[in-house]
Amino acid sequence: MARRVLAQDGEIILREVPDPELGPGDVLVRPRYSVISPGTERSIVRATRTSVAEAHEYPNAAYTWRTVRSSAVRGQTRLPHMPPDDAASLGYSLAGTVVAVGADVLDLRPGDLVACSGSQCAYHCDLVAVPRNLTVPVPAGVDLAAAAHVTLGAVSIEALRRTECRFGETVATFGSGMLGLLIAQLAASAGVYVVALDTNTARLELASQLGAVATLTDTGAGGLSRVRGLTGGFGVDAVIVAAADPGSTLVNFAFDLLRPGGRVVALGDFGMDLDRARFFGAQATFVPSIAYGPGRYDPVYEENNVDLPISVVRWTENRNMGHFVRLLAEGRVDLDVMKAVRVPFADAPTAYRALFADDSPLTAVLDFGD
């Protein structure tokens, strides 16, 4: 039996579940570290609440969880050993040691260090089975706790790719949580200028340390004037909305900041009451960024491990994951400045309570021990 972190009725619990089955294309992994993603996992926890009032308060999260569960019942997605009740398995980003590999996995062996993604498999659990396309090797010398951030890294990389920004261009990031700070760091390392927007001044200070050339707290005329001044009067080339906004203030302000023909990349959970005049006036391209990259949510890619040819899709989710680990190996991504809290796996419920508080750290890393 394995221990897994679950959310049930809005509470975090540890429960014993059967050991995962090893499929022919799977990698059996014993995690060493697993990263809690506060925004995503908070939504899942809220969605397991049972009261009508709470379901009304968080309709998107509740709808998402109902959809995942119903598709699993129909066999359209895999949730191994999904609890028979309304408990939700948490976790989707970890690093650890290979215990065994399926018959079709030829390039990994027991004892290898790997990083894994996938909300359907890479749980906060002391034993997981993950498809090969959601697993990447971790080179010797790379900090495993850093490699455990692989999913957040791949999400950030994919969002930056969706901007299509090139060397010398400017991107604005809305939200300086874990994703926003990773995006700022990645963009700066690629020669893209970063303007970071948030209401949390401490996090904006981190954004500056990680390469942002300017920070904003103002979504009004003052912020707009400052961005125009930084960009020769033209506006930014792209905006990544990585923040949560129950209204549509942020997305419409994004149109104001754009140069003509710029791009808005949707990453966070925000309202979609778009101001037509501002949208059309910016001649904007509005695009979603889907999780870790092409292949995500495709069972042929993820469960059957059928790759997308590099001649057709340069950057799949697995290649984005691998690139993040490579950046770690090259010392081009600094996670130490994020000051993630490290918590023993057995104390996971305590870690969640700390992360869901108003003055929470950026993230927490669950430590499974040697």
Closest CA relative to residue 240, chosen from 288, 295, 169: 288
Average pLDDT (82-90) is 68
Amino acid at 218: D
pLDDT, average across residues 236-254: 94
Residues 332 and 307 in one domain: yes
User: Residue 303: helix, strand or coil by DSSP?
Assistant: coil
Q: Is residue 158 part of a domain?
A: no
Domain final position from 288, 309, 330? 288
Query: Which residue is it, tokens 């996090």?
Result: 203
Residues 52 and 13 in one domain: yes
pLDDT: is 344 or 219 the higher one? 344
Statement to judge: residues 21 and 130 lie in one domain: yes
- Rounded average pLDDT over 326-337: 94
Residues 96 and 181 occupy one common structural domain: no
| Same domain (yes/no): 39, 122 | yes
Residue 43's domain comprises 2-149+294-367
Residues 312, 240, single domain; the answer is no
For residue 154, being part of any structural domain is answered with: no
262 in the same domain as 231: yes
Residue 40 has pLDDT above 80, yes or no: no
pLDDT of residue 218: 86
- 340-345: list long-range contacts, CB under 8 Å, 24+ apart: 340/35, 340/145, 340/364, 340/365, 341/365, 342/145, 342/367, 343/367, 344/369, 345/3, 345/34, 345/124, 345/126, 345/369
- pLDDT above 70 covers what percent of the chain? 89
| 327 and 284 fall within a common domain | no
Last residue of a domain, one of 236, 259, 288: 288
Q: Are residues 324 and 353 in the same domain?
A: yes
Q: What is the CATH number of the domain that holds 224?
A: 3.40.50.720
3-state SS class at 11:
strand
Final residue in a domain of this structure, among 243, 270, 288: 288
**Does residue 156 sit within a domain?**
no
Q: Are residues 143 and 237 in the same domain?
A: no
Contact 110, 99 (CB under 8 A): yes
pLDDT digits (tens, 9 = 90+) for 333-356: 999 988 888 999 999 998 888 887
* Number of domains the chain is built from: 2
Rounded average pLDDT over 48-64: 48
Say whether both 143 and 58 belong to one domain: yes
